[in-house]
Amino acid sequence: MRSKDYGDDVLAGDWRRPRKGQIPEIAAEPGLVAEDPSSGFCGAVVACAKDAVTLEDRFGKRRVFPLAKAGFLIDGRPVTLVRPTAAPGRALSASGSIAVRDLRARVARESRIYVEGKHDAELVEKIWGHDLRVEGVVVEFLEGVDHLPEIVEEFGPEPGRRLGVLVDHLVAGSKESRIAERVQSPYVLVTGHPFIDIWQAVKPAVLGIRAWPDVPRGIPWKEGVIAALGWKGEPGEVWQTILGRVRAYRDLEPALLGRVEELIDFVTDPPADG
């Protein structure tokens, strides 16, 4: 942020002159002041992920908004906020964030992110590992969520010690959603994706297949996928091949990207607790 009262001309050098009827695209650079018309919240950009932007108002309150088409106002005029591109000579991390050169990992926060299993943790590390080390966030895996309420209680969430949980197959009526609903704490965010397994978060085209196959009930999902696609090897071996094809956030489904970014925001940049 340039200053607490956003003193600079935030449009200087950045405003485009669109033809009549067109909505201009504006890079969500740090310090740019924008308003969400649906809520009236107005603030400066302090962070911008792949599909979400964080604004901070003059009182220090922060809110996260999706990067929606023509979803913001600048100086009363509708604009589309887009993620900034890296300047020449500035590298991007696998998540699309600006890479920090000569990174020394920050001392780990007390806050944590939990994921369901080893494969989830490996995928999060591959794409968001740089960001997590910058922020000092540790990711741990649960080996399932059956005992999530007890695990949360043992963790002891409180102000300054937040917990974010990424759950597979978090859809209405699922076992996972019923378990997640039992967690009631303002210092815990349980969110998730609709996929049966984290494998499905990898775009099929990345693996040279048209779609992930449907696996009949009663058949272990990973083994069923391997058989249906004619792949060879045990699930752990196959996963390493899948993971090796994933290079950056573009190789993953948006339904996963948004949830992981949301969890990182929650445990690293929460609203004022208490």
pLDDT in tens, 43-79: 888 777 777 888 877 777 778 888 765 589 987 888 9
- What is the band of 219 on the pLDDT scale with cuts at 50, 70, 90? very high
How many beta carbons lie within 10 A of that of residue 200, not counting itself? 20
Specify whether 103 is located in the same domain as 62: no
- Residue 200, pLDDT > 90, answer yes
**125 lies in the same domain as 254:** yes
Same domain, 161 and 264: yes
Side chain identity at residue 111, one-letter code: S
The total domain count for the chain is: 2
Q: CA 58, CA 53: separation in Å to the nearest integer?
A: 17
Residue 141: exposed, middle, or buried by beta-carbon count in 10 A (0-12, 13-18, 19+)? middle
**0.95 exceeded by pTM:** no
Q: Are residues 44 and 100 in the same domain?
A: no
Which domain range does residue 183 map to? Answer: 86-269
Query: What's the rounded Cα separation, in Å, for the pair 65 and 262?
Result: 10
Lowest mean pLDDT of 197-206, 212-221, 249-258, name the range: 249-258
Query: At which of 36, 64, 85 does a domain end?
Result: 85
Which of 269, 266, 263, 265 has the alpha carbon at shortest distance from 121? Answer: 263
Residue where a domain terminates, one of 63, 85, 107: 85
